[in-house]
Amino acid sequence: MTMQGHDSSAALVKMANDIADYFHSEADRGLAIDGIVNHITRFWEPRMRRKIVAHYAEHGGAGLNELARAAIAKLAEISQG
């Protein structure tokens, strides 16, 4: 059974934003993005990573804050590549 109306990508977007909020204080933007990508890679189950990448691809990262969006873009690049 899939819960009617359930959208786990909303939870993933919130998680990604929360992680990005932590790395926001890192002045070096490249390091901040790498930190987010590394965190997601180390701690997120692959299906979750695929879903957030798909959300980014399909919805342009709707709901993601600016830093999280940049990180998911990089994650998408890595996963394609």
Task: Give the binding site for other proteins (CB under 8 A).
Answer: 1-3, 6, 8, 11, 14-15, 18-19, 21-22, 24-26, 39, 42-48
Q: Which one, 12 or 56, has the nearer CB to other proteins?
A: 12
In order of 5, 24, 28, 64, the CA distances from 37 in angstroms are: 29, 13, 14, 14
Q: Please state, as a whole number, how many other Cβ atoms lie within 10 Å of the Cβ of residue 25.
A: 7
**Residue 64 CB, nearest distance to other proteins (Å)?**
14
**Residue 74 CB, nearest distance to other proteins (Å)?**
18
